[in-house]
Amino acid sequence: MKVAATPPPSSMGALPLDPSWVDEVLLRGPGAEPCLFFGPPVSRDELRRLVRARQTALTTAGLRPGGSVALCLAPSLALVANLLASWRIGAQAALLDHRLTPFETDRALARLAPQVLVTADRPVSHGPAHGFHQLRETVTARPGRPARTPHALVQLSSGSTGPSKIIGRTAADLVAELDRYARIDGTPRAGERIVSLASMVHVLGLVGGLLHSLHAGVRLAVPERLTAEGILATVAAGPEPTTLLGVPFHLELLSWTMELPDLPQLTGMTTGGELVRSQVHDAFVDRYGIRLGCMYGMTEVGVIATDLSGEQRPELTPAPGLTLRVADGELLIARAQSPYLDHGTPPAPGQDRWADGWLHTKDGGTVDPGTGRIRVLGRLDSQVSIGGLKVDLTEVEHTLAALPEVAAAVVVFGTSIEAYVVPHPGGTAERIEARLAERLATYKRPRRLHLVDRLPRTATGKLVRDRTALGSATLQQPSDREGSTRDVH
């Protein structure tokens, strides 16, 4: 299906969104065939019935074509049905992560001002984290405003490096990304299965998992529990060739399992979100004997480049249909309009990232002139100058995280290089410093080392690199913990 490019927003508000793409792109297919697995299988006929029922409930609450709705629901069949129903009405749907605090949720709603809000009782997990929930929704009309832009989807960025940005994507954007997925070698096809560990309110789990599966006829399963045992049990529950979809955090989670069942249907895993350290990549491949692919993307545009076979590492092949270039060492993506919905003075987060038809990724990179493949070198803001010498904080962080005494680490720069480290039992600051001295030049090593019990993460599992949040993590340590913060000389 072709979706016409959307016109720029006007002061009179957005035009109603054409809802026909939902049926033609996402809901079409054999009615009796299972398409989703939130525990028991859900057929396309059943999904279509659920979407129509939710459409009636949302319309009764006052949602109309060109209106706005916010969905604050845990991963569930209810989230899927309400999202598709909102789009089928022709409304603009904003996704809020259910793990946000009430304060964060209220702040997001104040920025978004939706006319309708869909919530449910907050799930209470006992023991290992639930992968999905059984929910009964509550639909509430609010004194919000209709959609001011023609975007079908509104998302908040993960906020791993600062305040979140409000990002909009049109139906045309989503359909174009699904077309890119269909043309990428190695993406799951009809008759195969994805076991998704990624959040459905963020781009990897939403488009790479849910929407691609519905569009391509791939069966999508969500584990009941996001433990290593729960994930592998979900893989074992179906005979189809299966790909795991998640982030680097899930690689570590899966490495903790003591015994590996025989899983001939598990053909590979695809990760996104962050660069996978070489040691983690190699250990996972050795343990499971499957391909470990990588997907690079942004909330603003979705998938940008991939190596789903794992054979090109550390290079990635640009996704079909995207135009990329490198300027001053930064990867830029061609995009006709800004994806950011916050406008005002001073500019909201993200407003400096789009100009003259190019989206600034803020990632360093190179393009091989012979193959066209790109190499992502990490955040540009990770490049700092120490006494006139360039230091890549990503290199320091990866080196630190690879030490046997370290479970997790984040490296940031204020007036000097600082490291926040979760040590393994028995790991001390002195041992960590001694190991680093063997691996990094003096000017690259952190000048302050903070030992913490845990590091803050975003809702998608990314480590947070905001210094304020990291400082709070340090202050939460027991006051009698010896050496919780150490100056290195």
What is the rounded (10 degree) CA torsion for 15, 16, 19, 20?
-50
**Domain 20-376 and domain 387-487 have a common topology:** no
CB 198 within 8 A of CB 246: yes
Q: Is the pLDDT of residue 125 over 70?
A: no
Region 20-376: CATH code: 3.40.50.12780
DSSP 13: -
Q: Is the pLDDT of residue 1 over 60?
A: no
The pTM of this model reads: 0.80
DSSP-assigned letters across all residues of 60-114 = HTT--TT-EEEE---SSHHHHHHHHHHHHHT-EEEE--TTS-HHHHHHHHHHH--
User: For position 486, what pLDDT does the model report?
Assistant: 63
Question: Half-sphere exposure of residue 44, counting CA atoms within 13 Å on the CB side?
Answer: 19
User: For position 40, what pLDDT does the model report?
Assistant: 94
Lowest mean pLDDT among 37-46, 67-76, 96-105, 186-195: 96-105
Q: What is the spatial distance between Cα 73 and Cα 80, in angstroms, rounded to a whole number?
A: 10
Q: What is the spatial distance between Cα 277 and Cα 378, in angstroms, rounded to a whole number?
A: 12
Q: Is the pLDDT of residue 474 over 80?
A: no
Domain ranges of the chain: 20-376, 387-487
Any idea which fold 387-487 has?
GMP Synthetase; Chain A, domain 3 (3.30.300)
Residue linked to tokens 């939403």: 206
- In the predicted model, what is the mean pLDDT of residues 220-231? 94
User: Among residues of the chain, what percentage have pLDDT more than 90?
Assistant: 57
